[in-house]
Amino acid sequence: MPNVTLLVPIADVFGITVTELLKGEKISGNKSLSTDEVEDLIINSLDLSVRNTICQRKKNLIFAFLISIGVVIAEAVLMTVSGITIEQMGDSIYISFLMLIFAICCIFVKEVLPTYYDKDKINFVSQGVFRIHMPGLAFNNGNWIYVLTIFRLFTLGVAVLAPILCWLCISIGGVDLWKSIQYPSILIVLAGLIVATYIVGKKYE
């Protein structure tokens, strides 16, 4: 199914109507479709367009995930070459590994919620191992994709930046600086994630 915006030009090329293009057959002059039939055709075409968009976005996210893995591995190698031991960088690599696991979970979470989320105020989503509960924020199909985007960017971003922060701290103030800053940094970043999720979620709620 082509993009919905291309349906009219394609129909013009073949000298048929958009309805005939969607139905896949020529409609005789004395035959007309019911409103329900036309609505079903339009909804199905839009659903296919949305599915194509989601599929392409998934491919891009998987590509970004693979790049992030490569970057984290490269960072670990470079820190080892610079004289930082596995024990010293261990926590940062552990954080990156954990974030990459969360990232792949967020990538494969369904981007379209069931219709009852749009009718009722529901503040939690549960899909397999992925669970999120945010009191005061109602999830729906208007804000869910934005919330997911924040979680995806957050997990991939932290995975890549954690080893860099470790290297900077050890280079500037030694291992003690890194040990003293790593946990407060995690708390600050998590607080930022929660605040950003509420702001964006409320904006599109």
Q: Is 42 part of a structural domain of the chain?
A: no
Name the pTM for this structure: 0.73
The answer to whether residue 95 is domain-embedded is yes
Give the span between the Cα atoms of 33 and 10, in whole angstroms: 21
- Over residues 41-84, the pLDDT tens digits come to 555 555 555 667 778 888 999 999 999 999 999 999 999 998 88
Query: Per-residue pLDDT averaged across 194-200, rounded?
Result: 95
Q: Residues 200, 151: contact at Cβ < 8 Å?
A: no
pLDDT above 90 for 194: yes
Domain-embedded: residue 145: yes
**Residue 106, domain member (yes or no):** yes
Identify which of 22-26, 44-48, 99-103, 178-182 has the greatest average pLDDT: 99-103
Give the Cα separation of 79 and 92 in Å (integer).
Answer: 11
Instruction: Please check whether residue 96 lies inside any domain of the structure.
Output: yes
Predicted pLDDT of residue 12: 60
Instruction: Express each pLDDT in 130-139 by its tens digit.
Output: 899 999 999 9
Q: State how many domains the chain has.
A: 1
- Is 72 part of any domain? no
Residue 103 within a domain: yes
Contact between 177 and 154 under an 8 Å Cβ cutoff? The reply is: no
- Tell whether 118 is covered by a domain: yes
Q: CA–CA distance from 62 to each of 30, 55, 150, 151 (Å)? A: 50, 11, 16, 14
> What residue numbers bound the domain in which 140 lies?
84-203
